[in-house]
Structure 1
Amino acid sequence: MVVYKQANTLQELEQILDLQQRNLPKNISQEESTKEGFVTVEHTMDVLQAMNEVCGHIIAVDESQVVGYALCMHPKFAEDIEVLRPMFHEIDKALKGKVNYIAMGQICVAKTHRGQGIFRKLYQTMKEKLPIGFDTIITEVDGKNPRSLAAHAAIGFKTLAIYHSDDKEWHVIMLK
């Protein structure tokens, strides 16, 4: 049985990084990235831990193994991951500071557990665990990741902005 909760041990954070590694474009084929999707950012343990201390990452655990995660990223980390800096700039430009939001820094479900509703349940749990005063989740998806774009649209994400950075088209999307 899959349990959904906030990460609170070093072992869970290590398992998040392991699952992340298994889904980076450099570690999967082009065919697999097109069909199954991929993750873009490669986090360090230091940044992952710091983010988790502010707002615990949401994880799906099956028999003590992390099989899915949604990383919670408070806007105060906007400058900490270079590839995400343009996203925060676009969010600030679109919202003009009118919405308190948590960025979903990355979501991933293990290949063995896809198609079981884990993606949806990770977001549902994230909404339930948002810090007081936050009512919106914002993330971005690479335009070359149609599986992720479709999955986010299916649970109610709406486009906030589309921009180009590092020869990529990014879709900034929001869930209220």
Structure 2
Amino acid sequence: MITFTTANTPSDLQGILSLQKANLPQGLTPEEIQSQGFVTVDHTYEQMAMLNDLEKHLIAKDGDQVVGYLLAMTEASKYELPILVPMFEAFDDIVYQGKKISEYHYLVVGQVCLGKGYRGQGLLDQSYAAYKAFYGDKYDFAITEIARSNPRSLNAHKRIGFKEVHTFTDSNQTEWIVVLWDWKNEQ
């Protein structure tokens, strides 16, 4: 039985980190990266805990085991992870419905991951429904960026309701797509 909750214990945070480490590109084959997707940022326990103190991460658990997660980041965490500063800074330039992203009250999906044995069962959709249930009244929308080279993640996010609002190429020549799930103006 899968349950959805927020990360509340050190064990929850360790579960997120274990799942994250198993899905970084350096531990996957090129075929797995293409077909299953990957995560980009490798957090330390301290970073994960600090982010969780600002806004709790959503986790999916099978018993006591963390089998999925959606990280939650706010504008307050902008400078905590140097790799993500450019994304937050881009929010000063990206316009959505006539306003800069930075003028909204938004929640950044810092990273999404499901364990290998839990994919293809609708768990991502359920996780995002829980994410919206936890945070939809508090924030205007959820926003994140996805590498163009991660089509599985991009397609899954579009299926859930995320819409492309911006693209850019970083200094490593990685193309990123900024996607937004508008919780206040959903069709």
Q: How many residues align?
A: 176
Instruction: Give the secondary structure class of the aligned counterpart of 2:124.
Output: helix
TM-score (norm 1): 0.96
In structure 2, what is the equivalent of residue 156 of structure 1?
Answer: 161
**CA distance in structure 2 between the partners assigned to 1:35 and 1:86 by the alignment:** 28
- Note if contact 1:105-1:139 (Cα within 8 Å) is conserved in structure 2: yes
In structure 2, what is the equivalent of residue 107 of structure 1?
Answer: 112
**Superposed CA offset, 1:97-154 (max 9, x none):** 3311010000000000001111111111111111864121000101100000000000
1:173 aligns with 2:179: yes
Structure-to-structure mapping, 1:9-158, within 5 angstroms: 9-95=9-95, 96=100, 97-130=102-135, 133-158=138-163
Percent identity between matched residues is: 39
Computed over aligned residues only, the root mean square deviation of the Cα atoms, in angstroms, reads 1.2
Unpaired runs of 5+ residues, structure 2, are: 183-187
Letter in structure 2 aligned against 1:174: L
Moved over 6 A (4+): none
TM-score (norm 2): 0.90
Letter in structure 1 aligned against 2:180: M
**CA distance in structure 2 between the partners assigned to 1:173 and 1:57 by the alignment:** 19
**CA distance in structure 1 between the partners assigned to 2:162 and 2:4 by the alignment:** 21
Unpaired runs of 5+ residues, structure 1, are: none
**Superposed CA offset, 1:25-81 (max 9, x none):** 011111110110000000111111111112110000002100000000111111221
